[in-house]
């Protein structure tokens, strides 16, 4: 069950594919009260489905599934109209491939999409893209979390072009577009959006006050490159939650801006 409206005619149902909402399993919500407050914020933000993505090395699949079932029951009891699904955020390291092959890591909402991250302190190298391609050969569709926070990408966003062309989904953080991580990350994410190297936006929320950034970040994307891209990102997140294939745009070698923005910035 994806938790999405069967017919979302308006295309406005927001899905958050990256969220540390499960209480007391990783560095996300610290208590049930905080988790419920985050879900209440999701409802106010127009989010209909939150995929809980605890760090896979801190929360094994069986614990994540049990925590989602418990939080889902608590949210229903509290009258919160938001659905929860289970996933994980997996570090890109040597243990990931055997874990995927053995079914020991959870993809997003029961799909083939696997949320992966390059941890701080790990450097970008050919081994990273190699691992992503090998995961594809093993049936996974990697979703790379917050590439705008990777120093090598900040220096050279073109590093992401071959990944995007190979069908690897690039997920940027809502907070990056709103300045939560500073100006360097903000500049980088704007470049990625303008070069079609950002395919979906998610909250990566760890605390109250971060889930509500998702609709604001989508508005910022519309400001930067237009409504069409905003809608495409919303639709892609829905498709991923439904386990369906997504269309990824051809990366642009140059930044783009809507005509009016370009004219005013001259
Ligand atoms: Fe995360």
Question: Which residue(s) pair with 143 in the sheet?
Answer: 115, 169
Q: How far is the CA of 165 from the centre of ligand 1 (A)?
A: 24
pLDDT attached to residue 1: 43
> Does residue 228 register a pLDDT over 80?
yes
Q: How far is the CA of 18 from the centre of ligand 1 (A)?
A: 6
pLDDT attached to residue 174: 98
Residue 9 included in any domain? no
Contacts (Cβ under 8 Å, ≥6 apart) of 106 = 56, 61, 64, 65, 86, 87, 88
Q: How far is the CA of 262 from the centre of ligand 1 (A)?
A: 34
Residue 2 included in any domain? no
Q: How far is the CA of 89 from the centre of ligand 1 (A)?
A: 6
Residue 7 included in any domain? no
CATH, residue 93: 3.20.20.140
99-115 pLDDT, tens digit per residue, is: 999 999 999 999 999 99
Q: How far is the CA of 204 from the centre of ligand 1 (A)?
A: 5
Q: Summarize the confidence of residues 130-156 as an average pLDDT.
A: 97
Residue 5 included in any domain? no
Q: How far is the CA of 117 from the centre of ligand 1 (A)?
A: 8
Q: How far apart are CA 96 and CA 119, in angstroms?
A: 13
pLDDT attached to residue 266: 45
Q: How far is the CA of 9 from the centre of ligand 1 (A)?
A: 30
Residue 223: domain span: 14-265
Q: How far is the CA of 17 from the centre of ligand 1 (A)?
A: 10
Q: What is the pTM of this model?
A: 0.93
pLDDT attached to residue 118: 94
Element (H, E) at 177: helix 174-177
Q: How far is the CA of 128 from the centre of ligand 1 (A)?
A: 18
In our burial notation (b when 16+ CB lie closer than 10 A, e otherwise), range 95-110 reads ebbebbeeeebbbbbb
- The number of domains in the chain is 1
Cβ atoms of 35 and 22 within 8 Å: the answer is yes
Residue 6 included in any domain? no
Q: Rounded to the nearest 5°, which phi and psi values hold at 169?
A: -85, 130
pLDDT attached to residue 12: 78
């Amino acid at each position: 069950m994806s938790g999405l409206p069967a017919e979302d005619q308006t295309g406005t149902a927001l899905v958050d594919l990256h969220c540390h909402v499960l209480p007391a399993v990783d560095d996300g919500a610290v208590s049930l009260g905080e988790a419920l407050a985050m879900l209440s914020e999701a409802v106010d933000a127009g989010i209909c489905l939150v995929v809980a993505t605890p760090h896979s090395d801190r929360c094994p699949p069986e614990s994540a599934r049990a925590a989602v079932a418990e939080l889902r029951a608590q949210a229903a009891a509290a009258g919160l109209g938001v659905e929860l699904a289970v996933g994980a955020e997996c570090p890109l390291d040597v243990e990931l491939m055997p874990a995927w092959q053995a079914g020991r890591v959870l993809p997003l909402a029961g799909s083939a999409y696997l949320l992966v991250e390059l941890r701080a302190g790990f450097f970008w190298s050919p081994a990273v893209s190699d691992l992503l391609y090998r995961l594809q050969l093993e049936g996974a569709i990697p979703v790379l979390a917050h590439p705008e926070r990777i120093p090598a990408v900040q220096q050279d966003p073109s590093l992401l072009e071959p990944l995007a062309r190979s069908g690897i989904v690039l997920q940027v953080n809502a907070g990056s577009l709103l300045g939560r991580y500073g100006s360097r990350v903000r500049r980088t994410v704007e470049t990625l959006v303008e070069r079609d190297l950002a395919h979906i936006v998610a909250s990566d929320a760890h605390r109250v006050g971060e889930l509500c950034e998702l609709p604001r970040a989508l508005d910022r994307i519309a400001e930067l490159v237009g409504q069409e891209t905003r809608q495409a990102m919303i639709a892609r997140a829905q498709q991923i939650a439904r386990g369906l294939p997504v269309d990824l745009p051809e990366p642009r070698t140059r930044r783009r801006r809507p005509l009016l923005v370009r004219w005013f910035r001259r």
